[in-house]
Structure formats: C-alpha cells, structure tokens
Amino acid sequence: MHHQEQLGQDIIDAAGKVIAVHLNYPSRAAQRGRTPANPSYFLKPATSLGLDGAELARPQGVEALTVEGEVALVIGSRARNVALEDAWAHVGSVTAANDAGFADLRWADKGSNLRSKGADGIAPIGPALLPAQEVDPANLRVRMWINGELTQDDTTSTLIFPFAQLVADLSRLMTLEPGDVILTGTPAGATVAQPGDLVEVEVDGATHDGGHLTTGRLANKVVQSSLVLSPVGALPKLTDADRIDAWGSAEAAGITPADSRPASILTPELTEKLKSVGTATLSVQLRRRGMQNCHIEGLIPTKPGAKVVGTARTLRYIPAREDLFKEFGGGYNAQKRAVDSLRPGDILVMDARGEKGSGTLGDVLALRAQVLGAAAVITDGGIRDFGPVSAMDIPAWGANAHPAVLGRRHVPWSVDETVACGGAAVVPGDVIVGDEDGLVVIPANLAEEVADDAVAQEREEAWVAERVAEGNAVDGLFPMNAAWRAKYEESLAAGPEDQP
C-alpha cells in the first residue's frame, strides 16, 4: 500500500521558497526557438502558492492569464551542495502544479517574473502528494485540461534537465530546506485561460513495484477580479509578440500578421522546369540578359548535391550591440517571426553581412522551417548544430559551422526587405535555384522566360554532346556554326525518334 496524502495548507505554509525553471521540455524549447545549455530559474514568493479548488483571480486590465501544467517537487530533507547521484533522495514528494501568471506584467519584470508570476495564490499545487522515492522521476506524465479539453500532455522522460540535476544545481549555492518547492518547467501547450475556464492539471506515473500513483486533478477556476492595479508601479501592457508568446502561436492568439509578401510566381510546372536545368545554364541565361551578379557565393551546403527551387523570403541581421540586442534580440524576435511565417516552397535567405563568427541558424529553427515545408535556408553567416542540421531533410547553405550563439555578432532586425547574401542582392519574391554548382537568384519577372530558354539551351547542349560522343570535333559545333545549326534545326523538326 503506497503512502499518499492530500496536500493541505500546512504544505503551503512550510514552503520557505519556491523556485521555478524557465525551460525544461524540448517541446516547449522548440516553441521558444532555443534550447538552454544549463538550467535557469526564477524565484517566486511562497505566498504565490495556492490549493486545489482555489480561484485564479485575473485583475482588471489584465488580458492574458497564462496557465502552465507542471510537476512540482517538495523537498523532504535539507540539501546543501549535494552530489548528482544523491540529489533525488532529498526530494520528499511530487505533486501537480499550475504555474499561472499575468503575461501583461512580464515586460516590467526584466526576466524575474516577480510580479507576473508572484501574485497571491496564482500557482496552485496538489491535490495529492506522491511519495517521491516510490516513483520513477524520469517516467511521470503531466497533463493539463481547459474545460475538459486536453491542452498539454508530456512525460518527464523528455526533460532537458532531469529533476536530480535541478536539485544538485540549486543546492550548490543555496540550502534547500524541507518544504521548499521546485516547479520543474512546462511542456508545449501552455496557453491563456479566460474567466469562467476550469483549468485542471494531473501528474501520474508508475511506482517501482509496478503500481500506479496519481495526484488526481488539480482543479482551479479562473475568475475576473475587481482588483484595479494602482498606478504606483508598472501597469499591464501587451504587444502582439507578447500575445503570441502567451498563447503559444499567432493562430491561437487570433493574430493574423500583416502579410506584405508577394504571391509566389512558382507554379508546379515552372518549379519542375527549373529543377530540370542546372544553375550553370541559368547563369548563362541571366548573363545574356545583362545580369552578371546573380550568384550567392562562398557558402557550403549541409546536403551536397541537393537541388532546390523556391521563393525568396528574407531576414536581415545588424551588427551586435548590447542595448539593441537586449531590446530586439529576445522574445519573438525578427528571426523567429521570419521562420514562423515560412510557407511551403519558401527559401529563407539570411543577410548576416558575411560575418562568420557566430551561428545564425541552429537545429530548432531549421526543424521549424522543415515542418512548415520550406525548401531551404541560406545564410552567409555561420550555422550552429551543423551535424543535426545536416541530418535533416531540409537543405541549408552557410558560410561555415560555428558554435557561438547569435548575440555574439548579430541582432535580428528585419523581415522581408531587400537584403545582400553572399554578394548577391535578394528581393523577397525572387526565385532561388540551388544545386551542386551553387545558388542563383532570378528576378520573379524573368523566371518564366529564363526557365524556358534554359530548357532549350540544355536540349541543344545535349544534342551537341551526342555529336561529340560520335567523334565530331568541337570546333564549329560548340558553339554551332551555320551548318551544324541547320542540322540541329532539322533534328528538332524531325522529332526525337528520327534524330541522328
């Protein structure tokens, strides 16, 4: 018989401190576009904890009350600088938590989340405590429902930072006392709840002896409070980027971004035509039209030999500057907006000024581009996670592999404006074609005629190659003189079955 007790006010009162993890599930990290190398935390007042059945009160003027299902750890014995292998033994209980908050106040907290997640009773936990030493910390499931609809469902087997690591890490510099609570991060699916919504969170898992334990559903209703926040401090404020972050996506937030992108001129027929010819041939056709500078140069492919055709979308970085990166580098920045807005067949072209000393594309964003159906990503900056990116289906081109993060050299700045990449000007809507010879940029208004003439050129060159293979001299044949030209025209008129 497993010892299991209901969580009561005594547990809340015993919590000397509440520590919450920023990011800990890969599904959530993918939404945020970054995977942390080490765990990071924020501190919550113990008065922010609440009980099962308590109301989640939304103050006047607050639009986005966010809800996040989590696993909560309750420390059972004092832990100070404990070893990783000993850390889990200091956890007394496991329970469910809803790390709710007010997204409207996040802007003023500078990452501390003090006001946005520190309100009285905003983070209920319970209803039952599971004995930590009887369950497998790597095999727990956390789920959240809003009005009975499942919105989160993940397991602790996917954690970026296992629970024992969190305890060991925190205990290096601070003493974890019995009753302290660690909120261990939320998976994808965290969202916004409205007054009247019933939010439920449950944590369950197998025991070491083959049994099964569950916290039961932690149920809390969102209500509209009459509290009016006094202007003695920061007042609620949300941008569309904040709303997208709170809801989890632009679609969920009901935001339709202004789409100034030109419609792609690439029909399936034109795409196949361009795929059938080489970039060398296309380069000749562009040169014949007076366009010499249509090559994106100096980049290496993650998938050598890949052939891509797509519509250019653009992202521009400016040189790193600390104040600008602080304002524009985090959150739903230009880089994430560019990747999130990709459509099937798009090719994202990044203008990194040829600066190779930092990554401008990594595995999470490359995966997002792939999931959205993009044809390729091209950057004249570095590529982080070069191995994992190379293993993906989506091809990418970059200046080099580089381990450094974006902010070392760049600030993401603008989306869908004319940029420079690898020495070429790229206008949103241009057609990009890439193969083993390189990358060419074709103005949209020339794409159809360039494709047709390139097909004709390669047909002609194939005929010439056949003549050379038959033993004919190149002189007069390549390029063709009048006599050979006449024979070629005759072969076209005769049809393929009658060609010599």
235-272: pLDDT as tens digits: 998 887 788 888 887 778 877 655 556 678 888 889 99
Kindly report, residue by residue over 60-72, the tens digit of the pLDDT. 999 999 999 999 9
What's the pLDDT score for residue 480? 80
Lowest mean pLDDT among 185-194, 258-267, 340-349, 407-416: 258-267
What's the pLDDT score for residue 33? 66
Q: Which residue has the tokens 């190779």?
A: 356
**How many CB atoms are closer than 10 A to CB 432?**
28
| pLDDT band for position 499 (cuts 50, 70, 90) | very low
> Which superfamily does CATH assign the domain made up of 268-448 to?
Ribonuclease E inhibitor RraA/RraA-like (3.50.30.40)
| pLDDT band for position 2 (cuts 50, 70, 90) | low
| Cα-based angle 315, 255, 104 (whole degrees, multiple of 5) | 95
Taking phi over 0 as left and psi of -120 to 50 as alpha, with beta for the rest, 210 belongs to left
Cα–Cα distance, 247 to 2 (Å, whole number): 38
What's the pLDDT score for residue 3? 61
Cα–Cα distance, 102 to 107 (Å, whole number): 10
5-247 folds as Fumarylacetoacetate hydrolase; domain 2 (3.90.850)
**Is 60 exceeded by the pLDDT of residue 41?**
yes
The CA distances from residue 240 to 44, 255, 259, 333, 472, in Å, are 26, 7, 15, 12, 68
For the chain, what percent of residues have pLDDT higher than 90? 70
User: Could you tell me if 270 and 279 are in contact, meaning their C-beta atoms sit under 8 angstroms apart?
Assistant: no
What's the pLDDT score for residue 491? 81
Average pLDDT over every residue of 292-313 = 93
Tokens at 468, concatenated:
């050379």
Cis peptide before 127 (omega within 30 of 0): yes
| pLDDT band for position 339 (cuts 50, 70, 90) | very high
Among 182, 169, 82, 58, CA closest to 132? 182
What b/e string do you get for 190-223 counting C-beta neighbours within 10 Å, with b at 16 or more? bbbbeeebebbbbbbbebeeeeebebbbbbbbbe
**Is 50 exceeded by the pLDDT of residue 226?**
yes
Cα–Cα distance, 345 to 331 (Å, whole number): 26
For the chain, what percent of residues have pLDDT higher than 70? 96
What's the pLDDT score for residue 262? 62
| pLDDT band for position 498 (cuts 50, 70, 90) | very low
Round the CA-based radius of gyration of the chain to a whole number and report it: 29
Cα–Cα distance, 57 to 46 (Å, whole number): 17
| pLDDT band for position 464 (cuts 50, 70, 90) | confident
Start and end residues for every CATH 3.90.850.10 domain found in the chain: 5-247
Backbone angles phi, psi at 445, to 5 degrees: -70, -10
**How many CB atoms are closer than 10 A to CB 408?**
15
Per the model's pLDDT, the better-predicted residue between 113 and 245 turns out to be 113
Kindly report, residue by residue over 200-222, the tens digit of the pLDDT. 999 999 998 888 999 999 999 99
Kindly report, residue by residue over 6-19, the tens digit of the pLDDT. 888 998 999 999 99
Start and end residues for every CATH 3.50.30.40 domain found in the chain: 268-448
Average pLDDT over every residue of 281-295 = 92
Average pLDDT over every residue of 28-47 = 86
**Alpha-carbon dihedral 449, 451, 452, 454, rounded to 10 degrees:** 120
Cα–Cα distance, 286 to 6 (Å, whole number): 74
Tokens at 282, concatenated:
């296309």
Share the mean pLDDT of the chain. Answer: 90
**Is 80 exceeded by the pLDDT of residue 473?**
yes
